[in-house]
Amino acid sequence: MPQLIFRGVEIEDIKKISTKLVDDLEAIVECPRDYFTLEYIESLNIFDEREVPGYPFIEVKWFDRGQEVKDKVAKSIDDALKSEGYDNTDIFFTNLNENDYYENGKHF
């Protein structure tokens, strides 16, 4: 945890940014790098009966770490995507409740 879910971003671009992005996020969030998950979801966007290009949309699922950390994480993700030519991105956070998150049958 945290989990970053990418839509509307090419998988090869995610691979290119993955190491540096996790390095940066590890320092910001202050958790081990193997806690991070980057997931690519292939999606199809439809508008007016046609397939249209996707828009970069990144969801971050995590245990809340406060607004200051959230702002830094969002900027880091945005900067990483800008480095690959994605000028506009949407990033949103889903806060998980530790009592609702189980690992090996035990909640945090």
pTM attached to this predicted model: 0.90
Rounded CA separation 68/50 (Å):
40
Counts for the chain of helices (H) and strands (E), in that order: 2, 8
Is pLDDT of 59 > 80?
Answer: yes
Q: Tell me how far apart the alpha carbons of residues 80 and 28 are, in angstroms, rounded to a whole number.
A: 14
Reported as a single tens digit per residue, the pLDDT across 81-104 is 999 999 999 999 999 988 888 888
45: phi then psi, degrees, rounded to nearest 5: -105, 135
- Could you tell me the fold of the domain covering 3-101? Macrophage Migration Inhibitory Factor (3.30.429)
